[in-house]
Amino acid sequence: MTIDEIKDNFALLDEWDDRYRYVIELGRMLAPMSEADHSAENKVQGCASQVWLARTLTHDGGGAQILHYVGDSDAHIVRGLIAILLALYSDKPPQTILETDAVALFEELGLGEHLTPQRSNGFRAMVDRIRRDARETLAAA
């Protein structure tokens, strides 16, 4: 699912309870993450729930670097937040990741005002992790 499809679906849902259920459903649609990827190296620090993000560096047909992500959490709503982040950031070049403001999207979707401060901080920790990966990938190139 693309980030534009997610935004369109959010716009169709008037009630926050429906949006909350939709975020949980997005989490249910995440691709499974291997047990090997549930490692300390992939664990995101700063989240109240357990969160893992694993990246793979690939290249597109023109040789440009592309970061692919898989993610998982032990909390349903957080899995949904991961799904939103992966729709925004996964399979993108590092420079595009750095130029994309996930926190603005978070606010645009109304998530900031409807999630607990702990969940909001966890979302920001996931964004920081992905952006750090992008900076490290660019620096190593």
Q: Is 47 a catalytic residue?
A: yes
Q: State the catalytic residue, choosing from 23, 26, 44, 47.
A: 47
Task: Measure the CA–CA gap between 44 and 50, rounded to whole angstroms.
Answer: 8
Task: Measure the CA–CA gap between 125 and 111, rounded to whole angstroms.
Answer: 15
Core vs surface per residue 59-86: b (16+ CB within 10 A) or e: eeeeeebbbebbbbbebebbbbbbbbbb
| Catalytic annotation, residues | 47
